[in-house]
Structure 1
Amino acid sequence: MAETTQRKREVFATKNEFSVAMAKYTAHLSAKFCKEKGIFTVVLSGGGLIDWLCKLLESPYKDSVEWSKWHVFWVDERVCSHEDPDSNYKLAMDGFISKVGIPKENIYAIDKQCAADGDAERCATLYEECLRNLVKEKILPLSPNGQYPQFDLQLQGMGPDGHMASLFPKRPQINETDKWVTHITDSPKPPPRRITMTLPVINSSLYNLMAVCDDNTDQCARSIAGIFKNNNLDLPAAHLTAQVETMWYLDKAAASLL
């Protein structure tokens, strides 16, 4: 695998500044990859991410971004109906995707029936099959080592306990290297059944942007300090890297112990 990147960080005084920066960063990479290869592969997460991307729905981005060239994925998903309020797919569709011109066939949600049935293992298997088919179709390239799919941009969030995607502290999924997508049935954060891209897939992304905002808990600030000051690898988010750039966007509360 190519040499990994150092963490970069920016701290923002207000949520508005945070959201403006996220939109600018994402739109810049969209323009870059649409020009270079004709498509942009972007991976979303849940939590507050969709809300923080709100500036993409405003001028100048809403009418200038080449939405028809976007291919959208989820780094993790709750195993529930697509209509369930817990669904990351529903969150993104209602708050973002339905408001822009991303073709339906370019939106890669977990299998609808399998999710409704609550079969986490089967959902993970099917999502990995989807990714492998997209590699065969040349939508997704492989990473330099030829083992994992390589996305252009993954937009991540971190929980107060230092988890990212559905890779939680003291859970075995963080160590999975054979699979592209794995599952969890005992998530410490409800709902318990989830699927998640594995760490090597996450870190094979060209760009990873970790966004931490609106969490004013002391635990969140301690986790950020543990990552940046001590490189505490007990925190899954401390393992985040990328092939080109690993960027952290923090609000003042998250960065308060740095």
Structure 2
Amino acid sequence: MPATPEIFRFSSSDDISRALDHFVAETARAAIARSGRFTVSLSGGSLPKTLAKNLKDNKSIEWSKWHIFFADERCVALDHDESNYLLAKQQLLDHVPIPATHVYTINQALVQDHKAAAKDYAAQIKTAFGGSDAMPSIDLNLLGIGPDGHCCSLFPGHRLLDVADVWVASLDDSPKPPPSRITLTYPIINNADINLFVVTGDGKADAIHKIVDQKEALPSGRVQAKGRLIWFLDDGAAGKLNASTLKYNL
């Protein structure tokens, strides 16, 4: 059965950062105890900053056992302003001792060929999970949402919403620049142990209301999980939710 969404509302982005620190640290600890490592995928936007604000100073974390993937990436150089990797590097990776070999980035030799870049990234994931053709289960996907309800680079009405035969897909017609990108697809996203959306700002309130209250099948509303599906929202993002939806206020 699909995971029941858990909706947590916070009074500020600072409160979300503190809660995210605790949640991610505990999730990593449990994953490392279970399997010897922690696999996590990151989105772009404001998420790396929100994640890293407190987490980078957490001395209890076994950073050497983390493996970092990207839920989507723009087909640009790793030092380009549009790079999701660059955001993560500046906010988190430069401040913690995660081995470089545990950070899986888009292949720089392939950024001019989005289809080849997607295939290469899927191959990187396969190798990281032992080379099996079985669907990988990432411990934690940290996801954002756009005002239109998109997540990763899965946009409303786009053909990639129906892709089910690959783990990583590509597009060259993103409605948001830059147009050329690679993205995880629903089969691998929804096979994660935990999918956690982190959403701040009233610009996302309409999309959150449509997904959570009205059950509209916007791209973010199609995300499930093997274990838990969680939303961390600040007051702005949660501002249009029905009161009965908010079971958790932190």
Quick check: TM above 0.5? yes
**Which residue is equivalent to 2:196?**
209
Q: Report the RMSD for the aligned CA atoms in angstroms.
A: 1.2
**Which residue is equivalent to 1:97?**
93
5+ unaligned residues in a row in structure 1: which ranges?
A: none
Deviation, 1:4, is 2.2
CA distance in 1, matches of 2:131, 2:38: 15
- Quick check: 1:255 aligned with 2:238? yes
CA distance in 1, matches of 2:130, 2:206: 43
Q: Secondary structure at the match of 1:8?
A: strand
Indicate if the aligned counterparts of 2:72 and 2:183 stay in contact, CA closer than 8 A. yes
Indicate if the aligned counterparts of 2:202 and 2:239 stay in contact, CA closer than 8 A. no
CA distance in 2, matches of 1:250, 1:94: 24
CA distance in 1, matches of 2:202, 2:109: 37
Please, which of 214, 224, 229 is the counterpart of residue 230 of structure 1?
214
Deviation, 1:137, is 4.7
1:2-31 residue CA offsets vs partner (Å, 9 max, x unmatched): x32011110110111011011111001011
Identity of aligned residues (%): 35
**Which residue is equivalent to 1:190?**
177
1:50-70 residue CA offsets vs partner (Å, 9 max, x unmatched): 110111022xx2x11000000
**Which residue is equivalent to 1:80?**
76
Q: Secondary structure at the match of 2:129?
A: helix
**Which residue is equivalent to 1:57?**
56
**Which residue is equivalent to 1:133?**
127
**Which residue is equivalent to 1:66?**
62
CA distance in 2, matches of 1:224, 1:76: 21
CA distance in 1, matches of 2:127, 2:29: 25
> Moved runs in structure 1, 4+ residues, more than 6 A?
none
**Which residue is equivalent to 2:246?**
none
CA distance in 2, matches of 1:131, 1:241: 20
**Which residue is equivalent to 2:24?**
26
Deviation, 1:200, is 1.1
**Which residue is equivalent to 2:114?**
120
Matched residues, number? 240
2:234 partner amino acid: D
CA distance in 1, matches of 2:14, 2:129: 37
Q: Secondary structure at the match of 2:68?
A: strand
**Which residue is equivalent to 2:15?**
17
5+ unaligned residues in a row in structure 2: which ranges?
A: 242-250
Deviation, 1:216, is 2.7
Deviation, 1:135, is 2.9
Q: Secondary structure at the match of 1:136?
A: coil
Q: Secondary structure at the match of 2:195?
A: strand
1:56 partner amino acid: L
